[in-house]
Chain A
Amino acid sequence: MSIFKLTATAALLLTAAAARAEGPGLGQPLEAADIPFYATYVKPDGTGLPAGSGTAAQGAEIYAAKCTTCHGATGSEGPVMPPVGPNDVWAKPAGSYWPYATTLFDYIRRAMPLEAPKSLSDDEAYALAAYILERNGVIDAETAMTAETLPAVKMPNHGNFLDVWAKQGATPW
């Protein structure tokens, strides 16, 4: 092999390595089964929602048992960011201000209650989302929240947001 060919081979190998990464490549394969639910997020179109269902009536019982201390007796009192609005405490109540209802399910499931996050079942998270939405007048009392009905909920404040990143990127507002 000539010097020229050796150099060309080396250059090819280097290019291949650079295309892969500049690091030592020590990442281990990650199997889908090893990815916990909180490493993803339910998307606005409902992708990622699990099976299960819950109604506002079911949610009211869970709410009374686990949520009133922070969010108030009916969800509009607080003190902590009451999710039912309008209220005098928090201008951005989750059940009416947030642009997508899917976020309610995901956030409740991953983060609530504050002292015992990830302790609620999927059915309970659906029921609490239903309760909050019903209390905000966004859904009626009969409609159970499921993987089909939750993403179909039209949030009243949807469309009232300006995407600053899309408008001007990393330039501060």
Chain B
Amino acid sequence: MTRSDIDSAALDYAAGGGLLSRRTLLASAAAGTAAGLLQPRVARAEAEIPEWTKAAGARARGYGAPAAAESAVQRAIIEPWQDVAPAFSLSGTPHHKLRGTITPSGLHYEVHHGGRPDIDPARHHLMIHGLVERPLQFDLDALERYPMVTATHFLECAGNSLFNAIMPEPMQAGCDMLHGLVSNTEWAGIPMRVLMEEAGVKPEGKWVVAAGADGPSLARSIPMEKVMSDGMLALYQNGERIRPEQGYPMRLLLPGFEGNMNIKWLTSLWVTEAPVHTKDESGEYTEILADGSSLQFTFAMGVKSFITHPSSTMTMSGPGFYEISGLAWTGAGKVAKVEVSADGGASWAEAALAGPVLPQALTRFSLPWHWDGSPLVLMSRATDETGAVQPARADWKARYHASNFLHYNAIQPWQVTAEGAVQNVYL
């Protein structure tokens, strides 16, 4: 008995295209295991003993690394102007090669406007100044003594999924290129409110201009309300000091807000009465609408999801059982539900969410599926706790000027061909 031999007529279908009830796999997996036990293919006397089972292993090491066979699991490098401006450099998380929800630190996406600085932590400090009672500076040793909090949050570049947003024909690439500018991390650090209150924000201080210690000193104006409610000075990333790519030795974390506002290599918090219209909030991170006007200060990321397994560039290994799995998130809070379609949107079934579902964090969804081998289109559609739902691509495109590639959160369809190829398509 093989997986594809299961009588598909007897399965508990949840929607078209072979989507199954969320409980289906438990029974079928048990059946498969039993069948396997009854039919050993290799007699015990002939069993090969691999060489690593006949030798002493390697000794302990100070810092681990992924298995050598996994060396192909890398971020996808995106350098739009590598010949003239190589420091404007991006890399995308290979979500199609990962499971769970936490992004390994070495695979967290990067967007560097001026490259990754090499900072001496002993000479780095954080300044709080402007409309405060006591202008202060903190070095890393002092900050290390503050009470810290831990929180899991996604970061997403406002330009994530830009190729789907602007390319006339769908680009055939993996999730690393198509949706890799989102990652999820357990951050630890100091609530911004504690540091701001120590400096004493004056009543007229309504905004904070945060600046990094990188070459371009990237700066953004941030509402004081956000900084004080859940802003964090993040010092740790998945348990270890923040990686240089993510802002070593400290970064600003603004849960749910577009990536570039979470200033990396943070060195200055300047309290002002109003936003100062930095470069990044004047042109780089504004969105031109269909009527030619623009959106400014578009801070929170919208509800979004995509299927990671299977996904573009993958090949199906024949008809039969699969678990559809993917990621969903929203800057507005928690994901409420994710629906999956295996017939191009004609019918939908609700996926299971792997708990706990955390606010402003990646949430893993899954649904069992029996693929009968015929061509079809898989899609996922997330709804967040405010009731916001992902739009179709055409609806998203209709809102914006043709050039806009920011805050793209449309539904991602994957075409599965009769040959088992999985391809990026627009619907």
Contacts and interface: CB of A to CB of B under 8 A. Distances in A.
Contacts of A110: 216-217, 219
Interface in A146-160: 157, 160
A41 B292 CA distance: 28
Nearest to B135: A30
B295 A164 contact: yes
Contacts of A171: 300, 332, 386
B259 to A, nearest CB: 14
A142 interface: no
B303 A164 contact: no
A70 B278 contact: no
Contact of B294 (A42, A111, A161, A165): A161
Interface string B143-183: 10111000000000000000000000000000000000000
B286 A20 contact: no
Contacts of A160: 292-294
B217 A117 contact: yes
Contact of B223 (A114, A165, A173): A165
Contacts, number: 202
Interface stretch (B52-60, B63-71, B80-88, B361-369): B80-88
Contacts of B113: 111
B272 to A, nearest CB: 8
B128 A27 contact: yes
Interface residues of B, number: 78
Interface stretch (A8-16, A31-39, A55-63, A123-131): A31-39
A6 interface: no
A137 interface: no
Contact of A161 (B139, B226, B286): B286
A170 B256 contact: yes
Instruction: Point out which of B130, B200, B296 has the most chain A C-beta atoms below 10 A from its C-beta.
Output: B296
Instruction: Point out which of B197, B302, B388, B401 has the most chain A C-beta atoms below 10 A from its C-beta.
Output: B197
B137 A28 contact: yes
Nearest to A117: B215
B317 to A, nearest CB: 38
B116 interface: no
Interface string B206-236: 0001010001111100010110000000000
Contacts of B200: 20
Contacts of A69: 84
Given A69-B84, A110-B216, A172-B302, A20 B295 contact: no
26 contacts: A24-B145, A24-B146, A27-B128, A29-B136, A30-B127, A31-B135, A38-B211, A39-B211, A40-B270, A41-B209, A80-B84, A81-B283, A92-B284, A102-B277, A103-B277, A114-B85, A118-B217, A162-B295, A164-B295, A166-B297, A170-B226, A170-B331, A171-B386, A172-B300, A172-B301, A172-B388
Interface of B: 81, 84-85, 87-88, 113-114, 127-130, 134-139, 142-143, 145-147, 190, 194-195, 197-200, 209, 211, 215-219, 223, 225-226, 256-257, 267-268, 270, 272, 274, 276-279, 282-284, 286-289, 292-303, 330-332, 386, 388, 401, 403-404, 407
